[in-house]
Amino acid sequence: MSKFIASAAIRGGQEIVKEADQLLKETLEKYGPEQKVGFANTAYYLPVIYAYTAHKVEKLGDMIQPMEQAKALLPRRMPTEKLWLPYLGETLDAGVATLFAEEIISGVRHVMGVQPEKQNGYTYNGPIDDIQLRTWGIQLVDGRMPGFAAIVGRAKTNAIAVKIVRELQQRNILIFLSGNVNGKGIVEQLLEEGVELGYDTFTVPFGSDTISAIYALGFAARSALTFGGMKPGQAKDVLLYNKNRVHAFVLALGEVDDLKYATAAGAITYGFPTIADTVIPNIMPTGITKYEHVVSMPFDDIPGNDDMERAERLIQRCIEVRGLKLQITKVPIPVSYSAAFEGERIRRGDYQVEFGGRGGVTFELLLSKKLDEVEDGKITVVGPDLDAMPVDSNQPLGVVVEVAGRKMQKDFEPVLERQIHHFVNMAEGVQHIGQRDIPWIRIHKNSVARGFRLRHFGDILYARLHADFGAIVDKVQVTLYTKQDKVRELREQARQVYNERNERAANLTDESVDTFYSCTLCQSYAPTHVCIINPERVGLCGAYNWLDCKASYEINPTGPNQPVPKGAVIDESKGEWEGSNRFTYQHSQQQVNRMTLYSLMDAPTTSCGCFECIMMIIPEANGVMILSRDDPSMSPVGMTFSTLAGMAGGGLQTPGVMGHGKFYILSKKFIPKEGGFKRVVWISSNLKEELAEGIKEVCQRIGEPDLMDKIADERVATTVEDLVAFLETKEHPALSMEPIIQ
Amino acid sequence: MALTGIEIYKHLPKTNCKECGQPTCLAFAMKLAQKGIELSKCPHVSPEAAAALEAAAKPPMRLVTIGVGDKKLEVGNETVLFRHEKTFLNPTGIMVRVADNQPAAEVESLVAEVASYSLERVGMELRPNGFAVDNRSHNPSSFAQCVATIRAKSQLPLVLISQDPSALETALEKVGQERPLIYAADSHNSEGVIKLAKKYQCPLAIRAEDGLGQLAELSDLAAKAGVEDIVLDPGTRGFASSLEALTQIRRLALKKNFRPLGYPVITFPGEGAATPEEEVLLAGEHVAKYANIIVLDHFSPGHAYPLLTLRQNIYTDPQKPIQVSPGMYTIGSPRDNSPLLITTNFSLTYFSVAGEVEASGFPSWLLIADTEGLSVLTSWAAGKFDAEKIAKTVKGFNAQDSVRHRKLIIPGAVAVLRGELEDELSGWEIMVGPREAVDIGGFLKRVWAN
Amino acid sequence: MPPVETPVEKWAGKIHEVNLGGDARRLVVGGETTLPFLHFEGAIPHPPAVAVEVQDRPPASWAPELRASWGEAMEDPASWAKKAVEYGADLIVLYLSSAHPDDQNTGPQEAKKTVTRVLSTVDAPLIILGPGIAEKDNEVLVAAAEAAAGRRVALGFCEQKNYRTIIAACMANNHVAVAKTPVEINLAKQLNILICDMGLAPDSILMDPTTGALGYGLEYTYSVMERLRLAGLQGDKMAAMPMFCTVGEEAWRQKEARATEGIPAAWGDIATRALRWEELTAMTLLLAGADVVVLRHPQVVQRIKATIQKLMTKE
């Protein structure tokens, strides 16, 4: 915490407490302790005091106790050069004392009949009543309103004041206005510009001084009591509720005086950070607030071509600091956008432009960047647009999506990048196939005629990435390139990224991570089945790998993919950990005590029903066979895939039989305890052909380069007898391994 | 702890002789581990191995067969307390009570009605399983006469109800070869009735009046006397008491492996209900919770149909979804300008789509593709509901002859198939319907109203 | 012969107790510490409740048999509710069907009026359901929630794709949420978690696992409910919400409850069959753990009430 701020806040607190104390004494003398006190139309008394202490202020006399509390809270000592105190706590105490004092003053003002405040013929709003609290509260709780901004002070110019309010309104953020700098405040600025203020426009002018900003915190306190089910007096819970659920921030415009510092310190106890447009010390470490506590963005130093751009950036930064999540529900493009267009075909003759395909040059790349490197919503088209391209021509296209987010990880890039296909395809008149450097896109003449342009790709990606991946993506910026040379040049860079990603995926081992992920999607029909997905083993269905699950968990923390901490190792060669066992036990209705991830014979993974392959031992051949889901023929054990699946599926753990994803065959963690790939004596031919390249590599790796030809399939053996005969002729190594059944 | 297939395999002869009906010894072992086959099917297992496998070999609840021939009733052999754990195997036998003091004509018409009662639901036949002849007359010859009257009309399995061993014997003399269930040995007549069961090699019901302890004693007595096929009546009749007793019996048999109660259970809901309507409800309770045979006092189609449907529901294998037969279905009376929709043959998919189309008020054609009982998204993911399959279904069931237009509505979840389908079905317009069945009504109203 | 020991399961969990209703008449559902009606094993402090479905306008599409059974009472939701209480309803499910855009597209004002009228006519606790279109649900249920403040009603349906507004309305007015998920245990739990994450207490949620009628998916509902109940009793607090089943609506939607012509003789006569269809659906789901069954036919209400009483009586 900055000593400068601490000193100012404590000073401000001392002064306002003194002022309140004095005012209260005078008013008590004038009206007596029995005089009724209260804000209009609320059941929460003086709400900040009520929420903090459960003390009900109904009469003037009831204010004495909180006044004394405010005094007691005030730190006695100031930080000095020599006295080096851990003064965060004291500053916050001063902040709370300030809030009490400000609320007491507001209460007194009600008694004196000067609330709501009237000035120059304008009547301010004063505190918000309970009915409006409920209406807005529901929207704040359900997310339609991302949060509220408490603006205090005065903008540099009237135009900037208007711009700030418009930027917030556009995002559905509720705006509370109060305070002034040298006698003039933002409310006056807005009135001068003819801005409509009031409940209907989400703007509430509380009053002309800093003290009236207390109504914003009263609103927040009542939210916790109304929507959080908190009881008055549960101060900590009320504050935590505000920190975690009431997404508010303070925007201090213009010079920050001691009282503003003191009030801001009070707001910080609610978890509301302060952003100032003047030079003040930053308090960057997080703690009481979710992210930074105090952020200074001197207005004139904000990058931008003019004040309007600077105002935009200021608001952008406020949203980041508080971590507001915006809801985007509509994709703003001139053609229809829905799942119904996903499978649309655009035929030759119908399209205006084609990108990619045979000989075309295209790529799509999604990169994660730092927060300050991405300008949210910025869409740029570099090169000619659709309407400038010859009809029926093939054109180059490069799509670069840059995203930033506090929870974004480099590993999620490919997961998000794959979504481009799905997102873009849903636009009417757009056909999209492929990804990375092979996208093939056609755009229908009619869509171009209706105004569809390349920037709408950006609009689609911006809207959908926010809507579907808002949990990890805070900012999205899209650039589209259509000049041949530039696209070629960038495609080379993109290919480097793809290669790096491939390598990273290849090097991702089970040993290199401490967390696996679960998948319980199949429990609807296999109630005791739990998939544990590790980097070197895909889910049984083949549809989910470890990275997918990791991203899925970040996006949907209560969903079917949960983190499974490995915990202490029990047997590395079988793939057994305490953590995975514990998770499996808890999520299998306590049916499966142990589950090894790599062993076929000892507590193998349970099998759901949608596995791509099923593996079973053949004792006579001293090996295992792998049967593909797509192979309807008879296997050497005398059972077809469906019979075997019926026997072992449904969440059962059957030593000797195991469902798995097809790429597990190529994994280094392929049944190592049983001897690895050398044990494989039979594979469905379709699978063998599909994975031929990979299998050859595995054979090389394990030092059996000829093994591929020694493995039987349904074309040479559908009985145990034929199989064994085949293996003997070929001298399959499994025959001379140690017995598979111990 | 039950043995795994591999552990059982170690005890087997490993000859792959196939005489058990299984392709290999390992397959037999796996099946045995799941109690899906009996050890006795293996002709070559050594006595030592048999002893070692005893626990794995013996199902915790005995399978009891009543009657002979293709209408025989097999009950028991259940392995789970909840159907989701695996499945309930042998559907509850539903028997209709016939009193021997009823006039013969009444008996004849009741038997004729029950015996001919049959209906089809999602490809399966639903029917009652037999008769329970009740010696209400207390007269042995009336009893035998009544059995004869039934047999003249129907060959369905029988339960013979009497407390009087001599009455039972007169009936057994007629039908003793047909494995009727003898009901019942109790604390008063056990000796004589057990003897009859032995003599005629028939399954025997035992009835307790005094709790499960007494029931276990009687069952033990019968087993010791050499009766293998036993059916239990715990004597409870009410809603709460029978639920309690039947739950305890099932738990004791399955979880405690308590042999004396490891048998199927018979109930008489009519004796615990005040009205025929209530009898259906109590019978419903017994279908869901652990009766293997139910004797009904009243029979009427309006009661039998829902009850048989419930039995079908409860005994459906949760891992093998019910399939409806692929084909062209009509909803209301569609004409050649009515909508044509297609979906998969997973029963729940079919029912929800058909239900919503029905409720929409648009008479429609509903094409059902063979997706092996998978739902839309699952079958699409498994490649069983792709453009080719849909096109084949449209052509295979001659959809072009049913409708004049050439518009096919596909589920919204497979919107991606549209382009490909238009290639496969040239001349057809592919319309993408809603993702959820519940939105079908609104969809049809929007796109088909004019 | 070993002695027979009563096989008692030890359950670590307890189903949440959900309070409904105002001062004049309160109702508690849930609280079980054992499987349905197994009195020898644990406590079942509150019998399952029977709710009667009342719509805010006469339901023209209902089967004639049903419409005849309620007669003129259906013209007005308040008198309908009153009659339902006379038949023994423990609570009333008030469907704001008229708010559906394809119906009369009524809005929050009408909803408020209807709810107020029903609440002032009957003391029985209320469950208020929107028309099932997210936008309209949010509109009318927020209004209904305010109108019912102080009477602790339940509001539904909260679904994964639309729950936040309804939950906010519940929190603002101390109401209960009905959380509906499509016949899947993990989705049910997930929605409960999401709702609790918003700050609504676990004892303010009823869960609707989606009812399949007899012959129309009943077995799926049955097993999902059994699994949820087992999970709840095993100590999973996010599966321990009392369960809510729309039995009447589902049973009466089916052909078996409606068709009178061109059907096999084996189906029996329509009235017998239709009533049994609803009753057996209810009965089966009660055995799977239903805590609230919503019914339509007055005779079924009476019979199921009587049956619950028998199931709750230790004999």
Among A84-88, A198-202, B412-416, the range of highest mean pLDDT: A198-202
| Claim to verify: residue B234 and residue B335 sit in the same structural domain | no
Of B258, B281, B314, the one marking the end of a domain is B314
A-chain CB neighbours of B22 within 8 Å are 638
Summarize pLDDT for A694-730 with one digit per residue, the tens.
999 999 999 999 999 999 999 999 999 999 999 999 9
Q: Residue C234 and residue A141: Cβ atoms within 8 Å?
A: no
C288 or B57, greater pLDDT: C288
The span from the CA of C126 to the CA of B94, in Å, is 40
Cβ-Cβ contacts under 8 Å, A617 against chain B: 6, 26
B215 and B283 together in one domain:
yes
Q: B262 in a domain, yes or no?
A: yes
Instruction: Enter the ipTM.
Output: 0.97
Name the residue with higher pLDDT: A205 or A246. A205
pLDDT above 60: residue A1: no
When pLDDT is averaged across residues A380-398 and rounded to a whole number, the result is 94
In 3-state terms, what secondary structure has residue B131?
strand
- The answer, yes or no, to whether the previous bond of A116 is cis (omega within 30 of 0) is yes
Q: Which residues of C touch B321 (CB under 8 A)?
A: none
Residues B217 and B256 in one domain: yes
* Closest residue, chain A, to C146 (C-alpha): A134
Asked if residues C294 and C247 have their Cβ atoms less than 8 Å apart, the reply is yes
Mean pLDDT per segment of 10 residues, for chain B of length 450 residues?
Answer: 81 90 89 81 88 76 96 95 92 98 96 96 92 97 96 96 97 96 96 96 96 96 96 97 97 93 97 97 98 98 97 90 88 93 92 86 94 84 85 94 94 88 91 88 86
**Residues B104 and B231 both lie in one domain:** yes
Whether A6 shows a pLDDT value over 70: the answer reads: yes
- Which residues are within 8 A (CB) of A399 and not within 5 positions of it... i.e. 6 or more apart? A363, A364, A365, A420, A439, A457, A461, A478, A479, A480, A481
Q: In this structure, are B82 and B26 located in the same domain? A: no
Provide, for chain A, the percentages of residues in helix, strand and coil under a 3-state DSSP scheme, each rounded to the nearest 5: 45, 15, 40
In chain C, whose CA is at the least distance from the CA of A237?
C199
Phi, psi (5° rounding) for residue A359?
Answer: 75, -5
- Dihedral (Cα; A279, A284, A287, A290), 10-degree rounding: 80
Map out the domains of chain A with their CATH numbers: 3-111 (1.10.8.190), 125-322 (3.40.50.2030), 339-499 (3.30.1650.10), 515-736 (3.40.1470.10)
Q: How many structural domains are present in chain B?
A: 3
- pTM exceeds 0.90: no
Nearest to A135 by CA among C138, B416, B352, B41: C138
Residues of B in contact with C37 (CB under 8 A): 239-240, 243-244
Residues of C in contact with B316 (CB under 8 A): 219
End-to-end CA distance of chain A: 66
Report the mean per-residue pLDDT for chain A: 91
Please check whether residue B22 touches A, CB under 8 A. Answer: yes
Listed residue (C209, C168, C204) closest to C187, CA to CA: C209
Closest residue in chain C to residue A559, using alpha carbons only: C190
H helices of B140-188, in order, are 140-153, 165-175
Would you say residue C234 lies in a domain? Answer: yes
What is the Cα–Cα distance from B352 to C216, expressed in whole angstroms? 8
Which of A44, A139, A227 is most worth mutating to test chain C (most C CB atoms within 10 A of its CB)?
A: A227
Q: Which chain A residues are closer than 8 Å to C186 by Cβ?
A: 520-521, 523-524, 560
**CB-nearest partner of B305 from C218, C268, C283:** C268
Task: Find the CB nearest B280 among C61, C266, C280.
Answer: C280
User: Domain for residue B124, yes or no?
Assistant: yes
Confirm or reject contact between A620 and chain B (CB < 8 A). yes
Mutate to test the interface with A, among B24, B380, B424 (most CBs of A within 10 A): B24
Domain of residue B439: give its range. Answer: 327-448
Gap from C275 CA to chain A (nearest CA, Å): 31
- At C7 the pLDDT is 95
Q: Would you say residue A336 has pLDDT above 80?
A: yes
Q: In Å, how far is C167's CA from the nearest CA of chain A?
A: 8
pLDDT at C149 exceeding the cut of 70:
yes
Range of the domain at C68: 17-257+267-312
Instruction: Please check whether residue B320 lies inside any domain of the structure.
Output: no
Residue B321 is assigned to a structural domain of this protein: no
Q: What is the CATH number of the domain that holds B405?
A: 3.40.50.11600
Asked if residue C95 belongs to a domain, the reply is yes
| pLDDT band for position A4 (cuts 50, 70, 90) | confident
Q: In Å, how far is A527's CA from the nearest CA of chain C?
A: 8
User: Looking at the partner chain, which of C146, C186, C193 has a beta carbon nearest the beta carbon of A560?
Assistant: C186
For residue B418, give the chain A residue with the closest CA: A343
My answer on whether B42 and B68 are in the same domain is no
- Predicted confidence band of residue A544 (pLDDT cuts 50, 70, 90): confident
Q: Which residues of B190-218 are buried (b: 16+ CB within 10 A; e: fewer)?
A: beebbebbeebebbbbbbbeeebebbbbb
Note the pLDDT tens digit of each residue in A429-482.
999 988 889 899 999 999 999 999 999 999 999 999 998 898 899 999 999 999
CB contact under 8 A, B359 and C2: no
Residue type, position A477, single letter: Q
A chain contacts of residue B5, beta-carbon cutoff 8 Å: 654-657
Query: What is the per-residue pLDDT across A395-426, written as a single tens digit (0 to 9) for each?
Result: 999 999 999 998 899 989 988 998 899 899 98
CA-nearest of A716, A603, A613, A617 to A666 is A613
- Residue whose entry in the numeric block shows the structure tokens 């339902």: C84
Of the residues C171, C190, C222, C234, the best mutation for testing chain A's interface (the one with the most A CB atoms within 10 Å of its CB) is: C171
Contact assignment for A619 to B33 by CB distance below 8 Å: no
pLDDT of res. B1: 45
Cβ of A254 under 8 Å from any chain B Cβ? no
B235 and B335 in a single domain? The answer is no
A131 vs C309: which has the higher pLDDT? C309
Residue B57 has a pLDDT of 67
Does residue C239 belong to any structural domain of this protein?
A: yes
Asked whether the beta carbons of residue B5 and residue A620 sit closer than 8 angstroms, the reply is: no
Same domain for B200 and B116: yes
Amino acid letter, A268: I
Q: How confident is the model at residue C171 (pLDDT cuts 50, 70, 90)?
A: very high
Q: Which residues does B282 contact at the CB level (< 8 Å), separation at least 6?
A: B239, B242, B269, B272, B273
Evaluate whether residue C169 is within a structural domain: yes
> Distance between CA atoms of A95 and A629, rounded to whole angstroms?
67
Mind listing the pLDDT tens digit for each residue in A61-81?
Answer: 999 999 999 999 988 766 665
Q: Between A344, A543, A656, which is nearest B418 by CB?
A: A344
Instruction: Tell me which residue in C4, C271, C273 faces B306 most closely, judged by beta carbons.
Output: C273
Let me know: does A132 contact A58? Beta carbons within 8 Å: no
Q: Worst-scoring range by mean pLDDT, A267-276, A331-340, B209-218, C135-144?
A: A331-340
- DSSP code, position A443: E
pLDDT value of residue C143: 96
Residues B190 and B287 reside in one and the same domain: yes
Nearest-neighbour CA in chain C from A366: distance (Å)? 28
Report the chain C residue with the minimal C-alpha distance to residue A246: C198
The two beta strands, B230-233 and B266-267, are unpaired
Residue B423 tokens, joined:
């290639």
Beta-sheet pairing, A174-178 with A203-205: parallel
Pairing of strands A118-119, A122-123: antiparallel
> What CATH number does the domain containing B30 carry?
1.10.15.40
Q: Do A590 and C185 touch (CB under 8 A)?
A: no
Based on the fold, state whether residues B216 and B338 are members of the same structural domain: no
How many CB atoms within 10 Å of residue B395? 12
Whether the Cβ atoms of residue C9 and residue C19 lie closer than 8 Å to each other = no
Q: Is C10 among the domain residues?
A: no
CB contact under 8 A, C185 and A226: no
Contact A650, B83 (CB under 8 A): no
Is-contact B295 B265, C-beta < 8 A?
A: no
Tell me: pLDDT of C203 over 60: yes
Chain C residues with CB under 8 Å of A241 CB are 199
Which residues from B are below 8 Å from A657, CB to CB? 5, 30
Question: How far is the CA of A49 from the CAs of A25, A28, A398, in angstroms?
Answer: 18, 19, 58
Position B319 in a domain:
no
Q: Report the pLDDT value the prediction gives residue A299, as an integer from 0 to 100.
A: 94
Q: Cα(B212)–Cα(B256) distance, rounded to whole angstroms?
A: 14
Q: Are C186 and A144 an interchain contact pair (Cβ–Cβ within 8 Å)?
A: no
Say how many CB pairs under 8 Å bridge A and C.
60
Helix (H) or strand (E) run with residue A637 in it: none
Q: Please answer yes or no on whether B285 and C283 come within 8 Å at the CB atom.
A: yes
Task: Please indicate, yes or no, whether residues B337 and B427 belong to a single structural domain of this protein.
Answer: yes
Closest CA to C35 of B82, B386, A314: B82
Q: What is the CATH number of the domain that holds C54?
A: 3.20.20.20
For B24, the closest of A339, A341, A638 (CB atoms) is A638
10 Å Cβ neighbour count for C314? 10
Residue B145 zone, left/alpha/beta (φ > 0; ψ -120 to 50; rest) = alpha
Say yes or no: B262 and B149 in one domain: yes
Nearest neighbour of C190 by CB, restricted to A134, A245, A558: A558
Q: Are C89 and C51 in contact (CB under 8 A)?
A: yes
Q: Which of B279, B289, B305 to mutate to test the interface with C (most CBs of C within 10 A)?
A: B305
Residue with the larger pLDDT of the pair C249 and B358: C249
A742 at B interface, C-beta within 8 A:
no
Please count the structural domains in chain C: 1
